[in-house]
């Protein structure tokens, strides 16, 4: 396990995101990414990942963007066939855990069908840390033999965590060279650390589907800064 993982989320969202992630890897410090398998940029992301196999790629499980990868998950979708949940999923009182497990298993199987090694699991909007879904995450981690982003607030017995600690501080107002250096400098001796990031070039799809756009360009600038290389 690497001591520091700089993981770019949303690989596969769109071409602008994919190119931003790959440039942050090739010319910067990003060494890992997690892929959405149900979005318009997925096939493009797969081709890029094949071209640059030194980038570790995991799966970015989702219940909050795009359409499901499986059938038979009617409780998870709206009348248009898209996932009905948003980042406010943590306010939900009930969720069909069996349908979530079916959907996430299908998403992982779709990833594996691309022939890419699966490095680890995390999720869009951190939905894998939603308490009712933690047993699902643990089962999938065991079933597929991969670790999980450590976005859990409490110790989960038996959970195979990717790192000792996970940082979300490189986001929004926290995006700067100095801020990233502070996060890196906060690591204790021997501690493994994952830092989340979202570099991208802003294309029309991203503009229309994300409220976090210009900030991604700033992240790209920082992650490829000569001050960090």
End-to-end CA gap in the chain: 21
Domain annotation covers residue 59: yes
228 found inside a domain: no
Residue 186 within a domain: yes
Backbone angles phi, psi at 121, to 5 degrees: -125, 140
* Amino acid 155: pLDDT: 78
Distance from C-alpha of 60 to C-alpha of 126, rounded to nearest angstrom: 9
In a domain, 68, yes or no: yes
Q: How many domains does the chain have?
A: 1
CB atoms near residue 63 (< 10 Å): 27
Which residues, given as ranges, of the chain have pLDDT below 70?
1
CATH number at residue 113: 3.20.20.370
Range of the domain at 74: 4-223
pLDDT of residue 109: 98
The 56-61 sheet, strands edge to edge? 121-123, 56-61, 32-35, 4-11, 193-197, 165-167
pTM above threshold 0.85: yes
Task: Report yes or no on 205 lying in a domain.
Answer: yes
Is 229 part of any domain? no
Any domain includes 178: yes
Tell me what pLDDT residue 75 has. 98
């Amino acid at each position: 396990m690497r001591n520091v993982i700089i993981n770019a989320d949303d690989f596969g969202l769109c071409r602008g995101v994919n190119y931003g992630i790959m440039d942050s890897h090739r010319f910067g410090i990003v060494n890992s990414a997690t892929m959405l398998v149900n979005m318009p940029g997925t096939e493009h992301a797969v081709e890029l990942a094949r071209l640059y196999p030194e980038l570790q790629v995991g799966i970015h499980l989702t219940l909050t963007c795009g359409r499901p990868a499986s059938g038979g998950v009617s409780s998870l979708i709206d009348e248009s066939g898209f996932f009905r949940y948003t980042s406010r999923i943590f306010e939900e009182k009930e969720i069909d855990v069996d349908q979530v497990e079916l959907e996430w298993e299908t998403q992982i199987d779709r990833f594996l069908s691309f022939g890419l090694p699966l490095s680890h699991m995390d999720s869009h909007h951190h939905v894998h840390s939603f308490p009712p879904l933690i047993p699902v995450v643990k089962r999938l981690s065991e079933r597929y033999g991969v670790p999980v982003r450590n976005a859990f607030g409490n110790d989960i017995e038996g959970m195979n965590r990717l790192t000792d600690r996970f940082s979300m501080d490189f986001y929004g107002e926290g995006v700067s060279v100095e801020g990233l250096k502070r996060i890196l400098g906060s690591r204790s001796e021997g501690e493994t650390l994952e830092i989340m990031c979202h570099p991208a070039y802003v294309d029309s799809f991203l503009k229309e589907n994300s409220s976090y756009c210009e900030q991604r360009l700033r992240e790209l600038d920082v992650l490829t800064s000569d001050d960090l290389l």
